[in-house]
């Protein structure tokens, strides 16, 4: 049974969400001690975290950043804050998806199930690495290697690079990437993909991989 940690400071919303998600067969842990979010995360070891932004003491961005330093567990932000800056900040802190309140339970459950399915079944492949021009992507631990350097990738960064390297020297459209990453691109702000691509490029540059992901104007991206 998948374990979901719910970090929401509105008691009514937390209880409604907990009850609704549990009907789908998940084990839900509603956090009430908001100074101990990271401690509770370490105790529970959830498969997915649902994180509000406006929390007592420290906000959801802070806790997501703390979690991301030790774990690649998917983090789904759930907030009434709807500006592009909030969404960009959530992605930069390592978030995997973002839902704006008010929302439908159908959309929330679709995103939860998609995140869990992609996270815990995506890398079940016969091969362990993909290599192109001395750049090696490890399938088993989401790490990119180049010469004597390496960088750990988040789940979305890994999947973007995996898709592009599997289609090396071919153009992959933005629509295709969003479909592969989020299965239904209508749920996704186009800006989310841009943020993930830019963050991935930065990590590649930090280990000496320059101009690896090419932008093909009005078409998409490719590895060349």
> Model confidence over 51-90: pLDDT tens digits?
999 999 899 999 999 999 888 899 999 999 889 999 999 9
Q: How many H-runs (helices) and E-runs (strands) does the chain carry? A: 8, 12
In this predicted structure, the answer to whether residue 218 has a pLDDT above a threshold of 80 is: yes
Fold of the domain built from segment(s) 3-121 = Rossmann fold (3.40.50)
- What residue ranges in 85-155 does DSSP mark as E strands? 97-100, 129-132, 135-138, 143-146, 149-152
Cβ-based neighbours of 122, under 8 Å, separated by 6 or more: 159
What's phi and psi for 152, nearest 5 deg? -85, 135
Instruction: Please tell me the distance from the alpha carbon of residue 113 to that of residue 109, in angstroms, as a whole number.
Output: 6
Mean pLDDT of 168-177: 88
Assigned CATH for 129-223: 1.10.10.10
Q: Are 216 and 171 in contact (CB under 8 A)?
A: yes
Domain with CATH 1.10.10.10 in the chain: 129-223
Q: 178-182 contacts: CB < 8 A, separation 24 or more?
A: 181/118, 181/156, 182/97, 182/114
The DSSP symbol for 168 reads T
Residue 22 CA: distances (Å) to CA of 16, 18, 33, 103, 193:
10, 6, 21, 18, 30
Predicted local distance difference test score (pLDDT) of residue 127 = 52
What's phi and psi for 177, nearest 5 deg? -60, -45
Task: Determine how many CB atoms are found less than 10 A away from the CB of residue 81.
Answer: 18
Residues 106-146 have pLDDT tens digits of 889 999 988 988 887 644 444 577 888 889 898 877 889 88
This prediction has a pTM of: 0.58
Predicted local distance difference test score (pLDDT) of residue 125 = 42
Burial of 123 (0-12, 13-18, 19+ CB in 10 A): middle
In this predicted structure, the answer to whether residue 98 has a pLDDT above a threshold of 80 is: yes
Domain with CATH 3.40.50.2300 in the chain: 3-121
At which residue do the structure tokens 């806790």 appear?
63
Predicted local distance difference test score (pLDDT) of residue 183 = 58
Kindly report the average pLDDT of the chain as a whole number: 88
């Amino acid at each position: 049974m998948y374990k979901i940690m719910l970090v929401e400071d509105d008691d009514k919303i937390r209880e409604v969400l907990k009850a609704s998600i549990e009907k789908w067969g998940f084990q839900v842990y509603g956090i009430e001690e908001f100074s101990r979010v990271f401690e509770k995360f370490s105790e529970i070891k959830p498969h997915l975290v649902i994180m509000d932004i406006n929390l007592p003491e420290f906000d959801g961005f802070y806790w997501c950043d703390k979690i991301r330093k030790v774990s690649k567990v998917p983090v789904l932000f759930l907030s009434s804050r709807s500006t592009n800056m909030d969404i960009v900040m959530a992605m930069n802190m390592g978030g995997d998806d973002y839902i704006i309140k008010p929302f439908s339970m159908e959309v929330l459950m679709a995103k939860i199930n998609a995140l869990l399915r992609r996270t815990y079944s995506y890398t079940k492949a016969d091969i362990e690495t993909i290599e192109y021009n001395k750049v090696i992507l490890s399938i088993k631990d989401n790490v990119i290697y180049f010469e004597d350097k390496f960088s750990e990738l988040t789940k979305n960064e890994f999947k973007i690079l995996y898709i592009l390297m599997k289609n090396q020297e071919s153009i992959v459209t933005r629509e295709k990437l969003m479909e592969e990453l989020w299965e239904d691109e209508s749920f996704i702000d186009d800006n989310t993909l841009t943020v993930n691509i830019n963050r991935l490029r930065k990590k590649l540059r930090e280990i000496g991989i320059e101009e690896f992901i090419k932008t093909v104007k009005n078409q998409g991206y490719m590895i060349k």
